[in-house]
Chain A
Amino acid sequence: MPPAFPANWRNDAHAKVTGRTKYTDDLKFPRLLHAVPVYADEVHARLRAVETAAAAAAPGVVRVLTARDVPGANRVGQIIADFRIFADDKIRYHGDVVAVVVAETRDQAIHAGRLVRVDTVPLAAVLDPEVALRDEVLVHEERGTNLINTHRVRRGDPEAGFREAAFVIEHDFRTPFIEHAYLEPEVAVAVPRPDGVFEIHGSMQHPFSTRRFVAACLGCPLPQVEVVGTPMGGGFGGKDDTAAIVCARTALAARLLGRPVKTMYQRGWSIRESYKRHPYRVHYRMGVSAAGLITAVECRIVADGGAYCSVTPWVTWRSTVQCCGPYVVPHVHCDTLGVYTNNVVTGAMRGFGSPQMNFVVEQMVEIAAARAGLSGIEFRRRNMVRQGSVTITGQRLDNHTVSMGEVLEAVLKEIDYERKLSRCSHGHSDAAEFYGIGLAMSYRGVSLGAEGVDLCAAILNVQADGTVVLDLGVHENGQGAESAMVILCAGELGLEPDQVRCQRASTSTIPDSGTTVASRGTIMGGGAVVLAARELKRKLAAAVAETLRCAPAEVRFGDGRLHGAAGASLSFLEAVQAVWRQRERPHACAVFRAPSVSWDEETGQGDAYFTWVYGCQAVELAVHKQTGKVRLLGAVAAHDVGRAINPGMVAGQFYGGMVMGLGYALHEEVKLKDGRITNTNLNTYRLPRATDVPEMTALIIENPDPASPSGAKSIGEPTNEIMAPAVANALFHATGRRHFSLPMRPAPPWPEPASTEGAP
């Protein structure tokens, strides 16, 4: 395909760099009202009444909404409909919203919100998932248990596997709640239109699930709600349920008041209410043979699901499928539990259950390697998946290029790993700092896998002047999805960038294509775009083949023209006109269906994902001997993306994901005290800054995937899932200390330099 586009091309760059992009809060509407949420300072309580009279009488207040005002369903959810749009029977976490105040100005609404009173009966809160499993205090009484879900893997005969082992290592790991910290907080505007439709503009990454939530809340048919794609300031998986519920409350206010309403979140509300990445507790045993092969793994994974289900069953499913990392393990016994607590809700976040498990597995393999007298690299080479390997769920990896070795070797070479490894301090240094290098690698199932129905649509509508309008089922979250799709489309059709334009997405114009999560945007959306473009090409070729003196299949597209037999060609526009003359429409709609997958819940066996991506990241660092302060010196990543549609944007995903992973490793943690988040703004929730992060190198590996029409796979999440264990391994090589929980805060006293890894 000719590279018709400048490197890093984006359809929205000019508007963004000049400040002209209109995000939801930038839009203006006449007679706009402002809504704000009201919380109760309770973590677990029976809710007897919400007293709104004083607030309703405050200056500027138009209405105060509570659960009683919801005409449709007050309980929604993608898996279990337990998420309250307004707290009704109980308050289950500190972020439950008891009321929404609507006023002429935002300040008036905020002020009146303080006048809302709740009548509650406090209940004992359950804040520890292991305690919650005893079911002494129930978060949802009607369920009779705090267990949200379980998953398992049963493979081989773990007892026999451990008997075969020359040694067994066993460790416990913990990870914290993590905030997505999209720079733009939740915001929604609902506009009641004269045709009876409620138009929703909002910062959310799943327009279709938003539409379902809004329609359920209003008790109206789906087409009466139209969710319009609006530029958003970051999502990272975090703008699904909570963002959709903010839209639902806003739409309810608009419906009851007949005026446009905006709800714009303050950062404090956003952090208090929105769901987080799940904290995990993992108990992990690994048996290893004298030859340095993993013989068996047994693990128990407990995920704190918080007060509502959200997508906990899906997140924990991925953790289960990938619980042994990219290694061949013949005998596996894994039990995973998702648990309700009265903590903040947890749900989707970039990585989706893999960052936690990789933090565990990629340290376990290094601990095992040291015990076996091997380098971590050699141990990985002996155990990792290769072409034709069978995964722990019984899936044979033979329908795509298994590039685990390729990405590993690429990183080793680029960073000069093995030489630098020999220079690591291991807790002994004459200088002021210890030096360490470490790496981690992973494989990752692409898209939803057996989590859900996986298809995506695209529509190409050629206009009378020969330009193309592209309607997409994937959502622009800020990652550049639209741009990648335009590049693919124009490339297939042989057009220039400015001849293809993305239609502003709306739930009313495109078939429900699921959510733009699970790193599925490029592979699924790109698949649909390529299939639609090919269908359009067939139409055009059929109409002009005779003129071009060739068979339709021989028509070639390039330079804005269609080429046939020696020298014969027509412009794209002429071909479009030929189609019109035949009373055909130059229009194509295609659906890309993910190849089928399979799963058996009982045994945890099946072809979990239709393809996999492979990645490896290494990091170098220095640790100050006196203070423990970590200085990052450099990082290298290699990921097999199938095919890079827009290499500059792919590199951007590398860097952004790596840095978010560095934050996970060293800084970030949503702190809760008695169920209340204490760091609710960006001064106390510590994000990586430009001064914290090292220079990074992105190695894009391309092995086009046969299952993907465009050849591309995915990149958004893989980059975010292995930096924490790479840092953990580097810290170990620097200081001699293992960190079994995140974030890692190395501090003296340091272990005795002689201590060897793997010793009990």
Chain B
Amino acid sequence: MKLHLNGRELTVDEALAEKRLIEYLREELDLTGAKNACDIGACGACTILIDDEPLKICLKRVKDVAGHRLLTIEGLAEPDGTLHPLQQAFVDAGAIQCGFCTPGMVLTAHAFLRKNPTPTREQIRTAIGHNLCRCTGYQQIIDAIAAAAVAYRDRETANGLVSPPS
């Protein structure tokens, strides 16, 4: 089984096909950015991107994503640690409190901005409407997404978001 994960190709042991995807990422690969907060697809804390679309993975198995392109929060910044403009916007806007919703929020927003780099605040609200945050009241998250949108209007940046396979 093959996965494209954060720009790299990965061969996965068939024995892991039935494993829950979130456990595979968190336990086997130590990619713990995706959080488990409800287990039933109700909160968005486990969101990653599959073929550029946000997906809540708490109900998914490894086999469900075989052959697909996955992006987790760990794959968004540059390899040297430089933050992606969207991540930097979250930091600058004060959009982070406890941070538990942050990976899912950032990835959901990333997928959204790639499709709509000139959103209204209402459209941003709808885009993150299924990602719960108990800390921030969403306002600074929306500020961050709105501020980052400009970076997505430049195609280079938008496409360079996922590091190319090395």
Contact = CB atoms under 8 A, between A and B. Distances in A.
A687 B37 CA distance: 14
A689 interface: yes
Contacts of B74: 18-20
Contacts of A682: 37-38, 40, 42-43, 132
B70 interface: no
B134 A691 contact: no
A479 B101 CA distance: 14
A183 interface: yes
Which of B40, B81, B92, B137 has most chain A Cβ within 10 Å? Answer: B137
B30 A652 contact: no
Interface string B29-51: 01111111111111101000000
Interface in B109-148: 121, 124-126, 128-142
A13 interface: yes
Interface stretch (B59-67, B83-91, B156-164): B83-91
A648 B140 contact: yes
Nearest to A683: B42
B150 interface: no
B3 interface: no
Contact of B73 (A18, A181, A660): A18
B152 interface: no
B37 A690 contact: no
Contact of A695 (B98, B121, B133): B121
Given A267-B37, A652-B140, A16 B99 contact: yes
A695 B139 contact: yes
B98 A182 contact: yes
B117 to A, nearest CB: 19
B96 interface: yes
Interface string B94-105: 101111111100
B68 interface: no
Interface residues of A, number: 57
Given A26-B26, A231-B99, A681 B38 contact: yes
A184 B137 contact: no
A648 B129 contact: no
B5 interface: no
Interface string A220-236: 00000000000111101
Contacts of B138: 655, 659, 690, 693
Contacts of A17: 83, 87, 90-91, 96, 99, 102, 106
Given A648-B140, A682-B132, A689-B130, A18 B87 contact: yes
Interface stretch (A3-11, A303-311, A534-542): A3-11
Contacts of A26: 26, 32
Contact of A652 (B102, B132, B134, B136): B136
B76 to A, nearest CB: 7
A624 to B, nearest CB: 18
Contact of A18 (B43, B76, B93): B76
A25 B100 contact: no
A755 to B, nearest CB: 34
Given A6-B92, A10-B96, A17-B83, A659 B35 contact: no
A23 B138 CA distance: 22
A648 B91 CA distance: 11
A14 B30 CA distance: 18
B17 interface: no
Nearest to A27: B32
18 contacts: A10-B94, A16-B102, A17-B106, A18-B73, A19-B32, A25-B36, A26-B26, A182-B100, A185-B37, A234-B100, A267-B39, A648-B94, A652-B94, A652-B135, A659-B136, A690-B141, A691-B129, A695-B121
Given A18-B76, A18-B81, 19 more contacts: A8-B94, A13-B96, A16-B99, A18-B73, A18-B74, A18-B77, A19-B33, A19-B102, A22-B32, A23-B32, A183-B135, A184-B100, A234-B98, A267-B39, A478-B98, A478-B135, A691-B126, A693-B138, A695-B139
